[in-house]
């Protein structure tokens, strides 16, 4: 396996035998201290799912929640704006279904 990002096509090897995968993440604004306390969150953390279809979730030092669980095949090596919007909505839907109390959480950064 060779991980060379979108530059692989410029290396001249394995032509038409690879595909370009883009992964997507969304991050919230910093959660207010009150909300962090309400959910029992104090320190930064990261959760990696044991499931291949699971989503890494992280609480950053500044109190932002980061979600990553969407990907697309982008053969041209560029990410379409519609794919970013789709990934953001995928993250929002997953949050609402798993943690209804975070339904109002905004994800302005995707």
Q: List the beta bridge partners of residue 25.
A: 68
- Tell me, yes or no, whether 27 lies in a domain: yes
Whole domain around residue 60: which residue ranges? 23-70+80-102
**At which residue do the structure tokens 């339904």 appear?**
103
For the chain, what is the domain count?
1
Q: Which sign, positive or negative, has the C-alpha torsion 89, 90, 91, 92?
A: positive
- Tell me, yes or no, whether 108 lies in a domain: no
8 Å CB contact between 68 and 107: no
- One digit per residue, the tens of pLDDT, for the chain of length 110 reads 556 666 676 777 777 777 778 889 999 999 888 888 887 877 888 888 777 667 788 989 999 999 888 888 887 777 889 999 999 999 999 888 888 888 888 899 88
- Tell me, yes or no, whether 84 lies in a domain: yes
- Tell me, yes or no, whether 10 lies in a domain: no
- Model-wide pTM > 0.85: no
Tokens of 12: 């001249």
């Amino acid at each position: 396996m060779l991980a060379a990002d979108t530059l692989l096509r410029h290396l001249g090897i394995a032509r038409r035998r690879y595909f370009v995968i883009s992964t997507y993440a969304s991050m919230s604004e910093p959660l207010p201290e009150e909300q962090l306390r309400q959910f029992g969150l104090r320190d930064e953390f990261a959760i990696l799912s044991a499931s291949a279809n699971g989503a890494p979730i992280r609480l950053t030092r500044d109190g932002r929640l980061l979600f990553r669980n969407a990907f697309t095949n982008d053969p041209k090596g560029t990410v379409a704006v519609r794919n970013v919007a789709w990934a953001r909505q995928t993250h929002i839907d997953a949050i609402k279904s798993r943690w209804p109390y975070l339904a109002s959480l905004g994800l302005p950064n995707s």
